[in-house]
Amino acid sequence: MAANDRYDLIILGSGAAAFAAALKVSELDAKVAMVERGTIGGTCVNVGCVPSKNLLRAGEILYYCMKPSYKGVSLENPELNFPQIIKQKDKLVLSLRKQKYSSVLDSLPNASFFKGSATFLSKNEVKVDGKVLHGKKFIIATGSSPNIPAIQGIQDVDYLTNVEALSLPELPDSMIIIGGRTLGLEFAQMFAHFGTEVTVLQRSPKIIPEEEPEISDALKKYLEEEGIKIYTGVKTLAVRKKGNSNIVRAEIGGNAMEIEAEQLLVATGRRPNTSDLHLENVGVKVRNDSSIVVNSEMKTSAPHVWAAGDVIGQPMLETAAAKEGAVAAENALDGSKKKVDFLSIPHAIFTSPQVASVGMTEEEMTSKTGVCSCRTLYMTEVPKALVVNETRGLIKMVVHPTTNRIMGVHILSELAADMIHEAVLAVKYKLTVDDIIDTTHVFPTMTEAIKLVATAFRKDVSKLTCCAE
């Protein structure tokens, strides 16, 4: 084997986890190879966060222009050129893929890129479309793909995943979305704002069931007020084609029903990409859902192999993937034994209003301590929300019952994804409610809600003046 085919570290994948690892490797002056079978950049920039949030924003502008919250403001006859919106989204994706991924990789002095499908041949060798690479150590960051459930007839219809839904040539008149978690709800509101008639079918009794029940219930109400039909407790039985439409046969509350729409979007989670890697040749264990088993240092069951990102399972977040990738690389090359603090990693759902959460839920806190000290503040108590006519939502704070340490914060609000970062610091650095109360906030801001919900542990917020201490 040629010397130039030997590497200190080989990274499988080119998404957030892979690039975070590669950047960390460059700081440690090691020789690295990156292997990608698909498009450089992974899910987020190509078919995930970047294009979906771009289109969500376009839909928000269109929809809320037609329904302004201010009396006396009238924006007549807004128009949508859907193909142009898609072209603009594609241009953004191409630009960011080059700027944030291809160009970054080109700037790394000791990095080589290989396009192709990688499979493990032995403990230290991977084959990439006929070429064999030798690595002392490995990081598996191959991401995930849409998980398609075993529904009768699913292979006989032209269903969409997030990939196809982001590049439709024309706006559909109607759409059924199977799945009522993050992906399903973001796409539901995106297309509903563009003018599509949307129906959401969710298997569990609530949408976004992992979130606080108050947030789940309120968001469902807001989405339904915008015309989205949402059914929960759904058992999807079968799908079939009928001319140019798709028909879903389901059971809801013991009653059978059929729903027809032009497009069918399957948004039922994602599955780690491990099936073609031949991990048995390197001794890496996987779970029943195909995710790779790692310890808190991102090390797999093989002593020289680490894994990061969606391929290790939940939480499947770009930010978590990046943190995991950097930790994996540092641990692999200098034995740091660093760990990822998952408690302080936030997540968000970019509906309108947005959902953002960090730390423990009330249920988790109660399960751990037997009791939870919690407060919920509705956005109608936040002056900035009143000022800008955006009072939808709430904020809930979960506090340790004896130490008053802030263990979790959960927000449903306009700008929730931006507001959450003060809460992230509170959870990460073990702040108490009094630490937040004692911190001066800008008035009026939506983020003041965090101080107000902390204050609710000490006073009746409804009886305080603006900016009261």
Residue percentage of the chain with pLDDT more than 70: 99
Q: How many CB atoms lie within 10 A of CB 289?
A: 12
Residue 3 has pLDDT above 70, yes or no: no
Which one, of 398, 393, 370, 364, lies nearest residue 381 by Cα? 393
Residue 402 has pLDDT above 80, yes or no: yes
Average pLDDT of the residues of the chain: 95
Contact between 144 and 270 under an 8 Å Cβ cutoff? The reply is: yes
Q: Work out the pLDDT band at 384, boundaries 50, 70, 90.
A: very high
pLDDT at 399: 97
Q: Work out the pLDDT band at 1, boundaries 50, 70, 90.
A: very low
pLDDT at 76: 78
pLDDT tens by residue, 144-195 = 999 999 999 999 999 999 999 999 999 999 999 999 999 999 999 999 999 9
Chain-centroid distance of CA 411 in Å reads: 16
Read off the pLDDT of each residue in 381-409 and give the average, rounded to a whole number.
96
Q: How many CB atoms lie within 10 A of CB 85?
A: 17
pLDDT tens by residue, 349-367 = 999 999 999 999 999 999 9
pLDDT at 67: 87
Read off the pLDDT of each residue in 324-335 and give the average, rounded to a whole number.
95
Three-state SS string over 51-74 comes to HHHHHHHHHHHHHHHHCCCCCCCC
pLDDT at 221: 98
Read off the pLDDT of each residue in 408-422 and give the average, rounded to a whole number.
98
Read off the pLDDT of each residue in 1-21 and give the average, rounded to a whole number.
88
pLDDT tens by residue, 252-305 = 988 999 999 999 999 999 999 999 999 999 999 999 999 999 999 999 999 999
Residue that the structure tokens 């032009």 belong to = 262
pLDDT: is 216 or 72 the higher one?
216
pLDDT: is 467 or 389 the higher one?
389
pLDDT at 4: 67
Spell out the domains of the chain, with CATH numbers in brackets. Answer: 3-146+271-340 (3.50.50.60), 154-268 (3.50.50.60), 344-461 (3.30.390.30)
Which one, of 320, 327, 442, 448, lies nearest residue 381 by Cα? 448
Read off the pLDDT of each residue in 369-386 and give the average, rounded to a whole number.
95
Residue 97 has pLDDT above 80, yes or no: yes
Which one, of 169, 155, 145, 246, lies nearest residue 201 by Cα? 246
Rounded CA-CA distance 143/13 in Å is 7
Residue that the structure tokens 């994996």 belong to = 328
Residue 57 has pLDDT above 80, yes or no: yes
Residue 68 has pLDDT above 90, yes or no: no
Residue 105 has pLDDT above 70, yes or no: yes
Residue 215 has pLDDT above 60, yes or no: yes
Rounded CA-CA distance 271/149 in Å is 11
Chain-centroid distance of CA 163 in Å reads: 15
Residue 468 has pLDDT above 90, yes or no: no
